[in-house]
């Protein structure tokens, strides 16, 4: 059976965890690949529940999966520009976010959630499927904050409906918080928070009240903020201390290994803010 080894003392891990750690995708995605017969271990078709050691040969669609020399979890932060798709290959020949990312020796970059083509702002990437899945999973309770420009002032009744809940396509959607931010003339900005952020949920919630969104930007994902020092369309690597702080907050045992990245000279270059259960790096203080 796939997943067994002649070396009884070899350390083994679940196959989906090993591939998630190598940056191939989330555990859930990899489980689907296993069920579809796309993965082999030592030449045999893998099954759910298989465990593997670092010495075993793992193939995805007939190609060897590189699992050695993994440097631990890494994270990137992008200030996504409008008109760029969050996909690996566009069917419309638009630019994609993945074309803007730095190369990686093993595994691949995984986007932490998505933004539609017109939405700008904070987008996270990691090379670790388990970390990506934990950040996205509803049980983690990480909220998402958006800056929204609409062409109307909302009355108290509308605000109350948007936080109480509106049924959209058979699903009850709601903002966990909504605050007026600024505005003049016909343009008014609100900041809204969501706990999950389903596809186009912000736009659909406003549209349910007869209000059209003219601009939408994600400004925060849990403790991560969209910093002013990252221009639109640019991407930066998040410091290992910050990655480790987030892993600890999420209850993950993995740790990012130092890449020789120097600590920012001040917290104006930081990408985290105080957040429940998060211990900020010492140099934040």
Report the C-alpha gap between 175 and 189 in whole angstroms. 15
Q: Are the CB atoms for 48 and 35 separated by under 8 Å? A: yes
Residues across the chain: 285
Residues annotated as part of the active site: 116
Tokens of 173: 């959607």
Residue 17 φ then ψ, to 5°: -70, -40
Rounded percentage of the chain residues whose pLDDT exceeds 90: 63
What is the C-alpha R_g of the chain?
A: 21
Count of helix runs (H) and strand runs (E) in the chain: 6, 17
Report the C-alpha gap between 60 and 88 in whole angstroms. 18
Q: Comparing 67 with 167, which gets the higher pLDDT? A: 167
Query: What does the pLDDT read at residue 266?
Result: 64
Contacts of 210 (CB under 8 A, 6+ apart): none
End-to-end CA distance of the chain: give it in Å, rounded.
Answer: 53
**219 CB burial (10 A radius; 0-12, 13-18, 19+):** middle
Sign of the dihedral defined by the CA atoms of residues 254, 257, 258, 259, in that order? negative
pLDDT digits (tens, 9 = 90+) for 58-88: 999 998 876 654 568 999 999 999 999 999 8
pLDDT digits (tens, 9 = 90+) for 190-238: 999 999 878 889 999 999 999 999 999 999 999 999 999 999 999 999 9
pTM summary value: 0.80
Query: What does the pLDDT read at residue 285?
Result: 73
């Amino acid at each position: 059976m796939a997943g067994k080894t002649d070396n009884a003392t070899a350390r083994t891990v679940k196959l989906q965890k090993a591939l998630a750690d190598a940056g191939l995708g989330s555990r859930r995605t990899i489980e689907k690949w296993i069920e579809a017969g796309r993965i082999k271990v030592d030449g045999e078709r893998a099954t759910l529940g298989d465990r593997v050691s670092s010495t075993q040969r793992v193939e995805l669609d007939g190609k060897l999966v590189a699992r050695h020399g993994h440097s631990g979890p890494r994270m990137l932060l992008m200030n996504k520009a409008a008109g760029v798709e969050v996909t690996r290959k566009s069917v419309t020949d638009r630019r994609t976010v993945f074309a803007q990312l730095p190369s990686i020796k093993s595994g691949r970059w995984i986007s932490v959630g998505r933004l539609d083509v017109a939405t700008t702002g904070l987008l996270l990437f990691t090379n670790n499927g388990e970390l990506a899945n934990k950040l996205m999973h509803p049980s983690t309770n990480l909220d998402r904050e958006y800056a929204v420009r609409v062409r109307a002032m909302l009355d108290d009744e509308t605000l109350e409906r948007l936080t109480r809940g509106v049924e959209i396509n058979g699903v009850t959607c709601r903002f966990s918080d909504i605050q007026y931010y600024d505005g003049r003339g016909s343009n008014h900005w609100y900041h809204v928070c969501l706990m999950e952020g389903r596809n186009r949920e912000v736009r659909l919630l406003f549209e349910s009240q007869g209000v059209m969104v003219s601009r939408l930007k994600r400004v925060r994902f849990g403790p991560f903020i969209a910093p002013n020092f990252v221009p639109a369309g640019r991407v930066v690597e998040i410091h290992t201390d910050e990655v480790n702080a987030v892993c600890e907050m999420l209850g993950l045992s993995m740790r990012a290994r130092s890449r020789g990245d120097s600590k920012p000279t001040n917290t104006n270059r930081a990408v985290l803010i105080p957040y429940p259960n998060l211990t900020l790096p010492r140099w934040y203080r």
